[in-house]
Amino acid sequence: MEDSNAAVEVSNDGSGLKWWSFSSPQRVSFGVGSRRLLPDVVRDLGARVLVCTDHNMVAAGVIAPLVESLTKTPDVEVLVYDEGEAEMGFDGAEACVDAVRSFGATVVVGIGGGSNLDLAKVVAARLCDDRPISRWAAEGLPQRALAVVALPTTAGTGSEVTPIAVLTDERRHLKVGFQNHVLLPRAVLVDPELTLTCPASVTAHSGMDALSHAIESLLDISFADKPTQAYADQAFVGKNPYSDALAIEAVTLIGRSLARAVRDGDDLAARTDMALGSLLAGMAFAAAGTAVIHALQYPLGALTRTAHGHGNAVLMPSAVRYNSSARRSEAARIARILGSTSDVDDVAASELADVLGELALEVGITPNLRSIGVNETDLDSLASAALGITRLLNNNPRPMDHEALVDVLRGALDFVPGVRW
């Protein structure tokens, strides 16, 4: 291709041109204590450092030592914005931009869960573009952004390695997922010690979110069956060998350590597995994409106000049951990693929903829609809302229409692991 920005349409349609793409931060550092690399990372990126975080991170004592390490660095100036919050909206992100603009940041450091990292990514782009965030969906994202350094403190969203940021549009009462390569962080420090203070319920929800990223990546439509995007837009290209390798390892790590991390938050070995599993699952879905579970979770989260990972855990058994006929060997492989003992693919694949439901129960999540306040009368409107999220539904291995979405929801309504339906 001579021009990476041209809207070149080449389809994976048998013409012989089939490829997949993978983007990642320039530098990913992983390991206990790796947060201490922050001054070295920042030194390469800029001298005026905006830190985006929240009050909980400050109160937990996470921020002060990191800021101190930065301010000891010659010529580095630091501004901490700690008004980050879960379910951050357009207005909240604009308030951050207004508060920090005069500082003249040259690099943005996001510290916290997915919401803080998404805030850092959006603010880094918004500071380079005068248009309000509310216009991005219709007009396109900014063409450039300040460099972002991401330090996740939960093991779940994978936001540190994705070109995606999710904000709430308060006026339309819905979540908007922005996807563009300018949102990809430049450098990432994944320090499992930063997750030690994560409460059990958040650990469970985040961990199930990470697991859903890995599973959706493995069960996705193949890159060979998707139209190829223009080079500049390539992300969510469909299942491919790179995403498969990352996602299988993520399932293995999460499967062996999620319940331990929930039971004993001080278990650093389990926390390390979860941090790595989340990182690899994030890389996998940044390449392959998420699908029906996440498409349904957006309206489900808006309706029930449950955490993103909680909603995914509730939807996952029914969704994999629906999709496993199109992804038999992958579903069987996941089920065996998570506990199925059958060496017959059909049997193991059919057990995946129960295996996932049992894992959810083990970490304190009742894996059905009724438990989060959803009734039969909600299914139609949930399916209608999800039907518009074609960016994700187009990744599903089976086509999803309104009826299929209602089927998945109905399967999740009163699901109990081990009980046939």
Q: Name the residues that contact Fe ion, by CB under 5 A.
A: 209
* Residue, CB closest to Fe ion: 209
Tokens of 228: 């190829």
Extended strands (E) in 160-238 = 164-169, 174-179, 187-190, 227-228
- When the beta carbons of 209 and 244 are compared against Fe ion, the nearer one is 209
Biggest alpha carbon–alpha carbon distance for the chain: 65
> Minimum distance between the CB of residue 313 and Fe ion, rounded to whole angstroms?
11
Residue 57 tokens read as 């991170």
Q: How many whole angstroms separate alpha carbon 256 and alpha carbon 418? A: 21
Total residue length of the chain: 421
At closest approach, how far in Å is the CB of 125 from Fe ion? 21
Residue 118 or 209 with smaller CB distance to Fe ion: 209
Nearer to Fe ion, 216 or 273 (CB): 216
Helix axis angle, 292-304 relative to 379-387, nearest 10°?
Answer: 130
CB of 9 to Fe ion, least distance (A): 29
Nearer to Fe ion, 54 or 209 (CB): 209
Nearer to Fe ion, 209 or 354 (CB): 209
Q: How far is the CB of 168 from Fe ion (least distance, A)?
A: 15
Q: Which is nearer to Fe ion, 143 or 390 (CB)?
A: 390
Residue 312 near residue 294 (C-beta atoms within 8 A): yes
Measured from the CB of residue 294, what is the shortest distance to Fe ion in angstroms?
6
| Shortest CB 116 distance to Fe ion, Å | 15
